[in-house]
Each structure stands twice: as structure tokens, then as C-alpha cells.
Structure 1
Amino acid sequence: MSENLAKIKAPSESLFSKKNRKLLIEPLTDNNPVTVQVLGICSSLAITVKMDIALVMGLSVIFVTAMGNYVISALRNIMPPRIRIIVQLVVAAALVIIVNEILKAYLPDISEQLSVFVGLIITNCIIMGRFEAYAMANKPWPSFLDGIGNGAGYAILLLIVAFVRELLGSGSLFGVKILGSAVPGEETGSVSYTHLTLP
């Protein structure tokens, strides 16, 4: 009889099976949350002025999405359906508070520049969307990978936009000057506005 039970028992899926790897890779290319699903547009435009800010925001979203997906998935079978949105918001809020406190403690300058946008991670469409669409219907480990993949897809787009904006806007990357000033006298602080007048 034990032999029959062994035959019936399905083989366990490896942690990084082809299906699980797809959860990590697909949001980076074919199903990017910003470019394909058109989610998280507001923060993508608002905090991509500098690379360092975009990087910290991207890492914060990866953490909240991955850990939030894991927690929601673990609670999905005991969570009453009527209060699932409230539970999802509480989980997201708790994780965002952790992120916010860490930023205030170790990166106060960036925390100040991000301002309210860290708090707005709670209502980010990507996070709430993954909680509802994936974590509520899947096991914790695949949900965790899905969170990392979608968070990374968002973070990569932030970094691409921030790269272009910081390089062309201030001629620097991560605060390091790369390009010379386009406005004569800007380096010395005495800008001549005669070069900016219209004919």
C-alpha cells in the first residue's frame, strides 16, 4: 500500500523550475508592469529625476511586493474574502512603514527627497494588483518570485528613465558629473541669461 501511495504522490516542484523562473523573467520583458500593464505610471514619472532616488524606490517596491505577496499567499486560505482588500492594505502598510523607517535611519537625504512617494507605495497599482491577481490564487514561494519579478520590472524601468533624465538634465549619474554644462558660466554659479533669450 505504501508503494501505491508513493506512486500517487505528485513530485515536488523545484524552487527554480522553468515555471518559477518564468515568474522572475517575464515581468522584465514581455509583461512589464509599467510598459505593458500600464501600472505605477505616476510614481514612475515623479521620482525618476535622479538615479539614486530611482534605485532606492525600485528596491523598496521589490521588497514590499515580494514580501507582501508571500504574506498574502500564506494567509489566503484563512482570510475571509469580505475583508481581503483591508488585509492586503494592512500588509502593504506594515511593509512600507518598515521601509520608511530604514530609509530615515540609514538614508535620510534620499528619504527626504522621496517624501510622500514612499508612503504611496501602499496604494501602488502594481502591488495591489499582484496581491489580488496572483498571491490570492497561488502558493507562497511562486508568489514571492512573482513579487520579485514585477518589482524588478518596475525598478528597471525607473532606472532607465532616471538615467536619461539625470544625464540630460544635470549631466551627471548618481551625482557624479559626466557631461559638461550646456549653459556658459553655470559651473561658477554666474549664469548669463543672454544665451537663453528668444530671437
Structure 2
Amino acid sequence: MSEEVNLEAFKEVGRKGLWDNNPVLTQVLGLCPLLAVSGTAVNGIGMGIATTTVLTASGAAVALVRKAVPEEVRMPTFVIIIASFVTAIDLLMNAYFHDLHKVLGLFVPLIVTNCAILGRAEAFASKNPVPLATWDGFMMGLGFSGVLVALGMIREVLGSGTLFAGAGNMFGPGMAWMETTVFPDYKPFLLMILPPGAFIVLGFLMALKNAIDAKLEARREAAQATQMPQAPEIKPEAT
């Protein structure tokens, strides 16, 4: 791709990151942290912010050095870049969001092994200019975070009857207003809290995306059919 990037390229990258090429719903990448920490919406927000930050920063860094890195050491260099940003995020979360860091635990350092991050560095950031690579990382992160938060919200509501529980403890007293009791006196639904519940909810989200895509494709085909010029009717000559 040329170094000159137009607005249409940014629109296409954004659409693919959020929907068409979503890291979870389409590529089925990064499922380990997604399923492990999505028991609550707050956990999903924290993990989503961390992953999005790493995707954005590593995309920009890889694009910046892509022409200076020899082919033989390209992948190790990308891993080192990603690991550096993950380490920085891990230390910052431990310092400023210690309660959230304790809940997410080992899955923050394990962001470095997320196939979605290394895959975008290799497939996109290493072949595109810095602005477009940065935007791609940000939109891919938003797509990943959106699924993560949606999964956490559904599991938390069905599993505990609450929404954004612990937001005040995780992000500070100023965010306590987010904590909501959706179903008072709710008896916890254990399946939704456990990993099998995460697989079930994720399966429904994937099915919903496929259904929406199929409906959009049907509308697109119908619109194209109506716009196609009709062949002129040939009348038989009178004898």
C-alpha cells in the first residue's frame, strides 16, 4: 500500500476492525483471556482497555520500524515490542488500578501471547504506514473490547443479577454510580459465572453476528438486483 492514506482506507479499516474482521466473532482469536476474565462487565472493561492500548501502541511502533527491521528477525522484534508495551500496562494497572489488577491477575501479562496482537503486527502494521497501522490497532482493540464487555455484561446479569458490580472499588469511588442491581433478591445462576457459560454466550453472539451479516447480504443483493438494467423485450416480427 502507498504511504499516502485516504479517508476511504481509514473507513474500511475501521469497519473491518469493529465488525467485518472482528478479532473474536470473525477470526476467533484471543479466546483465552476473553473467556477467563469476562465474568463481570468491569473485568471486561479493564481487560479491553489494556488490550486496546497494547494493540494501538504496538501497531504504531511496528509500522514505525518496519523498514529498518531485517526479515530474519522480524517476528522476534515484534514480540519484544509487544512485550514492552504489555509490561508497561501491567505496571501501570498494578500502580493505579490495583484491585482490578489483582482480579485480572496473570491474564494481563499474557496479553503478549494474544494471537490477535501478533497477527495484526505481522499482517497489517508491518506493511502499512504509521497512521493507518495505529488506527487499525485501535479499531481492532475496540472490536475485541466490545465483545469482551458485552460478554461480561450478559454473564454478570444472568449469573449474579447485577451490572458493573465493583466499579467503585476497581476504578475509584467516582465510578460507584455505575453499580446497578438489575434483579433484587436474585438467586445466582452458577452456569453463567463458570467458563461453560462463557462459551454458551459467545456462541450466541457469534450466531447473532452471522444472522445480521446474512440479512445485510440479502438486502445488498436485492438492492443490486433492482438497480440492474432490464433487457429490452424483443417482440416477434409480424409475418
TM-score range (shorter-chain normalised) is 0.7 to 0.9
Q: Which of residues 125, 135, 150 in structure 2 aligns to 1:145?
A: 135
Maintained 8 Å contact 2:38/2:148:
yes
Matches within 5 A, 1:94-173: 94-173=84-163
Gaps of 5+ in 1: 1-9, 185-199
Matches within 5 A, 1:1-199: 13-14=5-6, 17-175=7-165, 176=179, 177-183=181-187
* Number of residues of Structure 1 aligned to a counterpart in Structure 2: 173
Judged with a 3 Å threshold, the aligned counterparts in structure 2 of structure 1 residues 139 and 44 are, in CA distance, closer, same or farther, namely same
TM-score by length of 2: 0.69
Relative to structure 2, which stretch is displaced further, 59-68 or 171-180? 171-180
Judged with a 3 Å threshold, the aligned counterparts in structure 2 of structure 1 residues 64 and 11 are, in CA distance, closer, same or farther, namely closer
Judged with a 3 Å threshold, the aligned counterparts in structure 2 of structure 1 residues 182 and 147 are, in CA distance, closer, same or farther, namely same
Gaps of 5+ in 2: 166-178, 189-239
1:7 aligns to what? none
Judged with a 3 Å threshold, the aligned counterparts in structure 2 of structure 1 residues 151 and 182 are, in CA distance, closer, same or farther, namely same
Q: Secondary structure at the match of 2:23?
A: coil
Give the Cα–Cα distance (whole angstroms) in 1 for the partners of residues 40 and 186 of structure 2. 18
- The CA RMSD measured in Å over matched residues stands at 1.7
Identity of aligned residues (%): 31
Give the Cα–Cα distance (whole angstroms) in 2 for the partners of residues 112 and 71 of structure 1. 28
Give the Cα–Cα distance (whole angstroms) in 1 for the partners of residues 51 and 4 of structure 2. 30
Relative to structure 2, which stretch is displaced further, 173-182 or 50-59? 173-182
Judged with a 3 Å threshold, the aligned counterparts in structure 2 of structure 1 residues 11 and 118 are, in CA distance, closer, same or farther, namely closer
- Which has the bigger relative contact order, CA under 8 A and spacing at least 6? 1
Give the Cα–Cα distance (whole angstroms) in 1 for the partners of residues 164 and 148 of structure 2. 14
Maintained 8 Å contact 2:3/2:129:
no
Q: Please identify which structure carries the higher helix content.
A: 2
